[in-house]
Structure 1
Amino acid sequence: MATESAEKADGGLVFHPMDQFIVKPLFGDAGTVGMFTITNVTLWLFLAIVAVVLLMVLGTSKRAIVPSRSQSVAELAYGFVYKMVEDVAGKDGLKYFPYIMTLFMFIVFANFLGLLPMSFTTTSHFAVTVVLAMAVFLTVTILGFVKNGAGFLGLFWVSSAPLALRPILAIIELISYFVRPVSHSIRLAGNVMAGHAVIKVFAGFAAIAAISPISILAITAMYGLEVLVAFIQAYVFTILTCVYLKDALHPSH
């Protein structure tokens, strides 16, 4: 997270918990951010990719019978996501396992790297999570039509419902389908952003001697919760991707 942004003004403390989410260029004019500007977001996205490569490629390169710590973690992650895809999307979904595994590992590392002091949480930005969510949405939609043709539209037709209700339910299903990337992206970014902002607020109150011990305890508790949220949000994003994949492979109600 970014350095503490609190200052004395009019005899009181002014907190700026949202300053940690400001996109800043690493080089050049601090106020200019263009399409190709290298920013703090760029840096920490790159570091998340590097961390995934180090664990999944270099950490498993020896393939020892008695695994090292990095190999054990990589194997646990592999088995965890593989089982998730198989259970939710079925055997047919396993061919798309590499894409889902990549999503999970990237989000996990981006979330955890954002918990380091002086770091930047890339998954707190909707620009990042919307791209991830739209990639999933477009992938499963295209896959649904490629695999099923017009039969993919059966996803919106609830055949088990009374005939009179089916057109209404079809409209509801269609709206909910196109809302998927919105909820998919907001859930991840919103939860990550909220937790980091609360930690910043408590950190600001830590400067007040009277409530400093309480504030420190609150920061510790919130940080522990954020560690849990970092994993849970990656899991939720991934399992929803598996659900959407299942709908694309088997669209009929």
Structure 2
Amino acid sequence: MATETHGADAAAEGTGLVFHPMDQFIVKPLFGHGEVGMLTITNVTLWLALSILVIFVLMVLGTSRRAIVPSRSQSIAELAYGFIHKMVEDVTGKDGLKYFPYIMTLFMFIVTANFLGLLPKSFTTTSHFAVTVVLALAVFLTVTILGFVKNGVSFLSMFWVSSAPLALRPILAIIELVSYFVRPVSHSIRLAGNVMAGHAVIKVFAGFAAIAAVSPVSILAITAMYGLEILVAFIQAYVFTILTCVYLKDALHPHH
């Protein structure tokens, strides 16, 4: 049986159809080989650090010499700042602007990590649930704690739908409570799932590019998917951020 399997793999290699689209998401030690431990420096560590470095260069160094006629880096930084500032104000109101630095940091980290993941030979950190779950849980805990700090026990009123018939209110309260605790799950899976799926599809098309008969079609498909992934990289950062704003609004104004 093992001989047959090996023979099938060899035959597949001969057709150029052997590819493993999920291998790009494997966490590996950055130095040497072996198992990955809690303190092991991995490819994830490297690309997380690069994301932070890029943000620092763009937002700090790029705006250190501000001018009336902005440079490219200053223009990008100001555009991102104005975009997120308006989003926070529109969704949460004036009360939410004090939390703008946190939301801005979230957006810049996610969008930077997404775009870095599109570089050849890079590693997409936002494709891993270990990263997105931490981000989503941080939002969930922050919003929940803030809700109780700002409103006390009355924060729980957001689960009680007072406009519904009295008989339905307990049922709706349970539904609202379940949906509230599902937030970090959907928040994290949406980001990681979309990023992972797009990169896997590109790798599949790249595998077919080795076959001469379908190579032109595969290259066109890769180009189209890559363009789509550029759009997805921004959209997923935007969706994660605007949902954070919506959850923040619930904490600040649970009665609305």
* TM-score range normalised by the length of the shorter chain: over 0.9
Tell me the amino acid that sits aligned with residue 28 of structure 2. Answer: K
Is it true that 1:119 corresponds to 2:107 in the alignment? no
Residue deviations 1:175-196 (CA, integer Å, cap 9, x gap) = 0000000000000000000000
Partner of residue 170, structure 1: 173
Is it true that 1:235 corresponds to 2:238 in the alignment? yes
Is it true that 1:69 corresponds to 2:77 in the alignment? no
Tell me the amino acid that sits aligned with residue 29 of structure 2. Answer: P
**TM-aligned CA deviation for residue 65 of structure 1:** 1.1
Residue deviations 1:107-149 (CA, integer Å, cap 9, x gap) = 0000000000000000000000000000000000000000000
Secondary structure at the aligned position of 2:213 is classed as helix
Secondary structure at the aligned position of 1:210 is classed as coil
Partner of residue 10, structure 2: 9
Tell me the amino acid that sits aligned with residue 111 of structure 2. Answer: V
Residue deviations 1:75-121 (CA, integer Å, cap 9, x gap) = 00000000000000110000000000000000000000000000000
Instruction: Give the distance between the partners of 1:9 and 1:122, measured in 2 at CA.
Output: 33
Alignment of 1:1-253 (within 5 A): 9-10=10-11, 11-12=14-15, 13-28=17-32, 30-253=33-256
Tell me the amino acid that sits aligned with residue 16 of structure 1. Answer: H
Instruction: Give the distance between the partners of 1:63 and 1:164, measured in 2 at CA.
Output: 60
Instruction: Give the distance between the partners of 1:31 and 1:9, measured in 2 at CA.
Output: 27
Q: Tell me, which stretches of 5 or more residues in structure 2 are unaligned?
A: 1-8
Instruction: Give the distance between the partners of 1:54 and 1:161, measured in 2 at CA.
Output: 52
**TM-aligned CA deviation for residue 9 of structure 1:** 2.5
Partner of residue 4, structure 1: none
Instruction: Give the distance between the partners of 2:41 and 2:158, measured in 1 at CA.
Output: 42
With the length of structure 1 as denominator, give the TM-score of the two structures.
0.96
Tell me the amino acid that sits aligned with residue 195 of structure 1. Answer: G
Residue deviations 1:160-218 (CA, integer Å, cap 9, x gap) = 11111110000000000000000000000000000000000000000000000000000
Q: Percent identity?
A: 88
Q: Tell me, which stretches of 5 or more residues in structure 1 are unaligned?
A: 1-7
With the length of structure 2 as denominator, give the TM-score of the two structures.
0.95
Secondary structure at the aligned position of 1:14 is classed as coil
**TM-aligned CA deviation for residue 63 of structure 1:** 1.3
Instruction: Give the distance between the partners of 2:148 and 2:133, measured in 1 at CA.
Output: 22
Which consecutive aligned stretches of 4+ in structure 1 deviate over 4 angstroms post-superposition? Answer: none
**TM-aligned CA deviation for residue 31 of structure 1:** 2.8
Tell me the amino acid that sits aligned with residue 19 of structure 1. Answer: D
In the alignment of these two chains, the number of paired residues is 246
Instruction: Give the distance between the partners of 2:172 and 2:210, measured in 1 at CA.
Output: 55
CA root-mean-square deviation: 1.1
Secondary structure at the aligned position of 2:18 is classed as strand
Instruction: Give the distance between the partners of 1:162 and 1:31, measured in 2 at CA.
Output: 61
Residue deviations 1:19-59 (CA, integer Å, cap 9, x gap) = 0000000113x231000100000000000000001000000
Tell me the amino acid that sits aligned with residue 25 of structure 2. Answer: F
Instruction: Give the distance between the partners of 1:108 and 1:162, measured in 2 at CA.
Output: 43
Question: Which has the larger Rg?
Answer: 2
Instruction: Give the distance between the partners of 1:48 and 1:249, measured in 2 at CA.
Output: 31
Secondary structure at the aligned position of 2:157 is classed as helix
